[in-house]
């Protein structure tokens, strides 16, 4: 069955690292995967493309007035199709509107969107405006995954994302914990996931291998394929492919969330 998913989470929590490694791991299993980066920084797929920046959909639209699949969708490591929405420099324009325009334009021209088995949208921030919800509202995303650490603020953002998912009637398929060496981290995130009624799909340990590979413009699957970290991402990819236990989440009350992190 075709999987169309979005990865949300607080800025800097590791969405792009996880998304690109998961996509690479899926590619390794001969699954046709596509990664669509929705961050104006346009760096979601950079580690699948040997550190190369690709022309973004919004830049292409601005310069040429139209996009073609060949102009904005590029094949990366393990055959993963990569596209970047792009958007304005910080402090100007409207990145949310960029997602609306770009996603609709891509929908019109892209065979890869139609042909891929798994499409991953890497969406920045925590659904801060209608634009960031467009992959969902346009029916291009059927389920969401949230990445968090055990620290309070990422959990607070994750909880807020759950509010957005409820408004949009979109199911959450699981929580992914990206370790930040907080105290009782695994336990806290497990409790959070349990409170939401979804599984914690992976506990990604903090490991300098990830940063080293990123610096080299590679995913861990490509740069350190035999490492334990690569195994973690492969296992996560497997769980995403098989996970069925999803539900539209009920966000926790602030007080309950605070207690949970104590």
Partner 1 sequence: MEQLAGAGRIIQPRPSSIVAALYTLRDLDTDVAILHGPPGCCFKHSRLLEEDGMRVVTTAMCDSDYVFGGHDLLVDVLGKAIDRFHPKTVGIVGTCASMIIGENFHRAVQEVGPSCPIIEVEIHAGFNDNTHGAIVTLEAARAVGLIDEGEMERQKKMLTLATEIEKRFGAASKDYIEPSRGDLKYKAAQRLMELMKQGKKGLSVLNAKKETAYMFADINLAVSQAARAAGAPGPVTIANLDQNVGLPRIRRYASTITAQLKEAGVAVDHITGGLDEYPMTGEKAARIIEEKYSDYDYVVLSGVPHAVPYEAIKGMEIFSVTNGPRQVAPLKDIGHRHVMVEVDLHPKTLGVKGMVESEFGETLRSLL
Query: Does the footprint of partner 1 cover residue 201 (CB under 8 A)?
Result: no
Find the catalytic residue in 39, 59, 122, 126: 126
Helix 57-64 and helix 95-109: axis angle, to 10°?
Answer: 80
Per rule CB under 8 A, count of chain residues that contact partner 1: 21
Is residue 126 part of the annotated active site? The answer reads yes
Report in angstroms how near the CB of residue 62 gets to partner 1 at its nearest: 5
The residues, any chain, with a CB within 8 Å of residue 229's CB and separated by 6 or more, are: 204, 205, 207, 209, 210, 220
What does the chain come to in residues?
A: 262
Torsion, CA 45, CA 48, CA 53, CA 58, rounded to 10: -30
Report in angstroms how near the CB of residue 101 gets to partner 1 at its nearest: 8
Find the catalytic residue in 32, 41, 166, 191: 41
If the CB atoms of residues 11 and 130 are measured against partner 1, the closer one turns out to be 130
Residues 46-65 contacting partner 1, CB under 8 A: 61-65
Query: Does the footprint of partner 1 cover residue 92 (CB under 8 A)?
Result: no
> At residue 51, what are phi and psi to the nearest 5 degrees?
80, 5
Per-residue exposure over 148-160, b if at least 16 CB sit within 10 Å of its own CB, e if not: bbbbeebbbbbbb
Query: Does the footprint of partner 1 cover residue 12 (CB under 8 A)?
Result: no
For 96, the token pair is: 């949310």
Q: Identify whether the C-beta of residue 104 lies closer than 8 Å to the C-beta of residue 138.
A: yes
Report in angstroms how near the CB of residue 103 gets to partner 1 at its nearest: 10
Active-site residues, by number, are 10, 15, 41, 126
Query: Which chain residues interact with partner 1 by CB under 8 A?
Result: 61-67, 94, 96-97, 100-101, 105, 129-131, 133-134, 137, 168-169
């Amino acid at each position: 069955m075709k999987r169309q998913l979005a990865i949300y989470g607080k800025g800097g929590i590791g969405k792009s690292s996880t998304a690109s490694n998961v996509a690479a791991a899926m590619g390794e299993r001969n699954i046709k995967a596509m990664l669509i980066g929705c961050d104006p920084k346009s760096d979601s797929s950079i580690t699948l493309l040997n550190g190369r920046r690709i022309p973004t959909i919004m830049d292409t639209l601005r310069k040429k007035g139209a996009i073609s699949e060949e102009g904005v969708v590029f094949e990366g490591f393990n055959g993963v199709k990569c596209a970047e929405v792009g958007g304005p420099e910080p402090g100007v324009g409207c990145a949310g509107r960029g997602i609306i325009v770009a996603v609709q334009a891509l929908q019109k021209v892209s065979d890869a969107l139609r042909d891929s088995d798994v499409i991953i949208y890497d969406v920045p921030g925590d659904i801060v405006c209608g634009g960031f919800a467009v992959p969902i509202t346009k029916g291009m995303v059927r389920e969401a995954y949230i990445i968090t650490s055990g620290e309070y603020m990422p959990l607070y953002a994750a909880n807020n994302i759950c509010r957005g998912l409820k408004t949009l009637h979109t199911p959450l398929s699981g929580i992914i914990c990206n370790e930040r060496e907080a105290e009782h981290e695994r336990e806290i995130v497990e409790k959070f996931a349990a409170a939401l009624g979804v599984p914690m799909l992976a506990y990604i340990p903090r490991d300098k291998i990830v940063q080293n590979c990123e610096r080299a413009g590679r995913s861990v699957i490509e740069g350190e394929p035999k490492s334990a970290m690569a195994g973690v991402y492969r296992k996560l990819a497997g769980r995403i492919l098989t996970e069925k236990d999803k539900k539209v989440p009920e966000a926790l009350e602030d007080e309950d969330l605070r207690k949970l992190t104590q």
